[in-house]
A and B are shown apart, each in its own frame.
Chain A
Amino acid sequence: AQTVTQSQPEMSVQEAETVTLSCTYDTSESDYYLFWYKQPPSRQMILVIRQEAYKQQNATENRFSVNFQKAAKSFSLKISDSQLGDAAMYFCAFHNAGGTSYGKLTFGQGTILTVHP
């Protein structure tokens, strides 16, 4: 079974600064997908970024980028130029690419990000 671990229960950052959220996972599969979801106080789950394990290039979406280290099974999220609206709980999630996964996402415990003005 896959497990996802977010070792930072809480992080904080000053507005306009950069912060990195950590995620490690454990799997015996070679083909899979990784996601970061954001959950603001409104509790809506919003996709931030996604990475396919077969791609060596790290995914980027505007101010959000990942550092995907497949051998180390590490998938960190970097938020540049942090904004007040980035304050939320961030979840790392894993999806096995195999046909029997049926869309099952396995989530980490979450990291609460506070952004200070």
Chain B
Amino acid sequence: DTAVSQTPKYLVTQMGNDKSIKCEQNLGHDTMYWYKQDSKKFLKIMFSYNNKELIINETVPNRFSPKSPDKAHLNLHINSLELGDSAVYFCASSPNSREADTQYFGPGTRLTVL
């Protein structure tokens, strides 16, 4: 069984559209994250949720809105997509946010904005 899953794996869309990426973990972890990997492969954290509460918001444009309906799910909604949003988006989870637990990553979603 996949520990951290993301849908879709690939997303191609036009500038200005709104899209969502979904993430689910079946590890029973309390904390989930969204990372962005740009075209140069640089990985940067965007958001972190602990037990459905937002705990990290790394100066991401407010076109990006994460939502955690329960601690096993963390979705990312992006409004008014721009060319610069093209990237691979990774979801990850860890047992909790208080300690440096190992983070388990999903397979990534490659978003292409045309």
The smallest beta-carbon distance between B108 and chain A, in angstroms, is 5
**Are B99 and A107 in contact (CB-based, < 8 A)?**
no
The smallest beta-carbon distance between A14 and chain B, in angstroms, is 24
**Are A104 and B56 in contact (CB-based, < 8 A)?**
yes
Q: Given the interface contacts A102-B50, A104-B48, does A32 sit within 8 Å of B97 by beta carbon?
A: no
- Number of A-B residue pairs having CB atoms within 8 Å of each other in the complex: 67
**Are A91 and B55 in contact (CB-based, < 8 A)?**
no
**Are B45 and A99 in contact (CB-based, < 8 A)?**
no
Is the CB of A45 closer than 8 A to any CB of chain B? yes
Residue of A50, A89, A105 contacting most chain B CB atoms (<10 Å): A105
**Are A50 and B102 in contact (CB-based, < 8 A)?**
yes
Q: Which residue of B lies closest to A35 (CB)?
A: B102
**Are B108 and A109 in contact (CB-based, < 8 A)?**
no
The smallest beta-carbon distance between B30 and chain A, in angstroms, is 10
Interface digits, A23-56 against B, CB 8 Å rule (1 contact, 0 not)? 0000000001101010100111111001010000
- Interface residue tally of chain B, by bracket? 20 to 34
- A residues near B107, Cβ cutoff 8 Å: 42-44
- B residues near A97, Cβ cutoff 8 Å: 99-100
Residue of B33, B48, B90, B103 contacting most chain A CB atoms (<10 Å): B103
- B residues near A117, Cβ cutoff 8 Å: none
Q: Which residue of B lies closest to A44 (CB)?
A: B107
Is the CB of B44 closer than 8 A to any CB of chain A? yes
**Are B105 and A44 in contact (CB-based, < 8 A)?**
yes
